[in-house]
Amino acid sequence: MNEYSKQLQKQGLIDLTIRGKAGIAAYPVIWLLITLPYLPHTQFPAFFYINTAILACILLSRIWHLSVFNRDPEASASKMYRWLVGSILLAGIHWGVMFAIIVYHWDDSSMPYVWTMATMAFAIGASVVLSISNVIRAFYPLAMVVPGVCIFIIYGGSDQWVFAATALITLAYIHVTTKVTHADYWGGLKNRFLAEERAEKMERLSHTDQLTQLNNRMFFDRRFCEEWKRSSRSKSPLSILMLDLDYFKVVNDSYGHVFGDECLKRVAETLQATVHRETDSVARYGGEEFVVLLPYTNQQDSEAIATRLLSAIHEIDMSVGSQKVSLTCSIGIATGYAKPGQNREMLLKSADDALYQAKDKGRNRVQVGTSINAS
């Protein structure tokens, strides 16, 4: 099963569990409301207490399932689904058998008719509400109704045959309507997932540089804002590396823009491979310029990362025919401790100024800029 199918199954389980909550206590409550006025506990005590015990066990199983589900939503969806559907079908089968027994034994009172109405209400309501599950919508109403209908047909008179015919027509109606609601639910769920997936893809594309597949400047600006606020709250250091490829215009002019684009892709791959903490962000800032955002990173550690990047880029193996093309870069570093209400652009400007100092001092080097609010 692929990830998409797993997500669908999990959401289906969630919705089925939520919809099924209302029916958890319905069986024993209706059982007691219908049977106690007819005193089955005195006329047929074994029948009453055995069925009450079975209903209590099903109730406990449903409550246990709900408890496990609430405690661990990440539990196996297939296992939880089978547990829930099995409990519901067991309740339906048990109710259907009780229905048949009551129709057979209580033919001298109104109890079979009251029971018939309750059974049909259960069959219709639960089948529609729980039609998420194809198994429930197909078999639950049959389990509830068919045993009693058989007794009506075999042992009943003409008036009871009318009940049987009405019940069978109702079953056919349930089958048709729940088929529609089942298709509507899963069609709607799939459309929702596809819409979310497309929206996520569009957002990812809007934040991705198409050439290098790095984050773009828009993403960096948003992430920088978030990390600046986090730095202010946690009083933790935030570092920025501004990186620019040296003499890249010469590379483009000498070997062509196609080769230049390949160089940018290789540099992007190198940056991603070297800066790999989940909290860090690498983005293409524009042209041959890149920016690295390093939360929780002080000046000393950011210098070590910048030195590794300087070496890694220099080691990139690029060639045109038999001629090797060497790539180098200049890196400006700035580290800051944000303060509430302070303009974060000060840190970015410090890193940018340090980058130009690195270029002025001969390129292919790391230059540390002015720290912001250094402690």
CA distance 115 to 124: 14
Q: Which of 288, 289, 303, 315 is catalytic?
A: 288
Buried b (16+ CB within 10 A) or exposed e, 56-87: eebbebbeebbeebeeeeeeebeebbebbbeb
Helix (H) or strand (E) holding 334: strand 329-336
Residue with tokens 């349930």: 174
DSSP designation for 238: E
Return the amino acid letter for 289.
E
Distance CA 350, CA 293 (A): 14
Sign of CA dihedral 332, 338, 341, 342: negative
Q: Is 289 a catalytic residue?
A: no
Q: Is 71 helix (H, G, I), strand (E, B) or coil?
A: helix
Q: Which residues are catalytic?
A: 288
